[in-house]
Amino acid sequence: MSQHREHPARPRIVVVGSINMDLVVRLARLPRPGETIIGREALEIPGGKGANQAVAAARLEADVSMIARVGDDAFGQRLRTGLQQEGVDVSRVIVTPDCASGLAIVAVEDSGENAITVLPGANGRLTTHDVRDASDLIRDADVLLLQLEVPLETVLAAIELADQHGTLVILDPAPAPESFPLNLLSVAVACPNETEATALTGIPITTLEDAARAARRLRELGTRHAVITLGRQGALICGPDDRCETIPSFAITAVDTTAAGDAFAAALGVSLARGKTISDAVKFACAAGALAATRAGAQPAMPTAAEVTRFLQTALM
């Protein structure tokens, strides 16, 4: 599906997106409004949808660069160093003076479900100029990965640059915006989950038929391929001919679903960059997302290429 390049063994992936420190609280169940729950532990774990996807792609044996911002606080230094240790190029991760790094407060219950509150911090300072200053990275990339935890105009500038250079764009539209310009979805692949797909299309999703209707609506809004992740129901793909295909999920015991969507998006990008069909790429991405959900945390949960391959082989036996 790659638009214009050879299919390298180590694809070049560029991520424009957020970097957060996740403050993770584990508890038996998520509290209801007005309710106080006693948690078991609190952890500081590197996160942010952009950084999660960068780490995931690096562990899947891609060459990854990130365009982002952190604050000039202690978290910022730790987050930048952590990405470097994962093999991510951070030369375009800008340290923002007099600004806190992004922060996410993540509550995870025993079922693996979570509730997340994000404070953007330096992520909110990532500008269109930052993206244009790194246009050489986008030009030379096989795939550009985008999410929506940085300003919308910055994401749009990245899409415009990628379009100019023929770079394939995968948009994980999370968190889904309340309103958006139509060109936001003028990308090769949009991969929302069912909640985000409902927010983008106005179509409530309770069945596979609903998901197919939402996917076709996403196609009408501009994306070449709509891929809606459906948790235990797997993922649904709708391509340029508007035919839909369901990729089944994998049977797992979920520990923490925080990073599953980010693992999915990164694996989808890496697989497409290697020249896989959209169906095979989504199957690989479902496996990566399932593996991530069996582990605690965001970036620490990201599987390696060898782990995903073994998981697929075992699942198909």
Active-site residues, by number, are 262
Contact assessment for residue 31 and residue 45, using Cβ atoms and an 8 Å cutoff: no
Contact assessment for residue 95 and residue 126, using Cβ atoms and an 8 Å cutoff: no
Q: Which of 121, 105, 120, 131 is nearest to 72 (CA)?
A: 121
Q: Which of 193, 187, 44, 20 is nearest to 113 (CA)?
A: 193
Whether the upstream peptide bond of residue 240 has omega within 30° of 0, thus cis, is no
Contacts of 78 (CB under 8 A, 6+ apart): 21, 46
Q: How far apart are the first and last CA of the chain?
A: 28
Q: Which amino acid is at 157?
A: A
Q: Which of 184, 178, 286, 183 is nearest to 230 (CA)?
A: 286
Long-range contacts of 198-203 (CB under 8 A, 24+ apart): 200/173, 200/176
- Helix H, strand E, coil C: the string for 144-195 is EEECCCCCHHHHHHHHHHHHHHCCEEEECCCCCCCCCCHHHHCCCEECCEHH
Contacts of 54 (CB under 8 A, 6+ apart): 13, 15, 17, 64, 66, 83, 86, 88, 145, 266
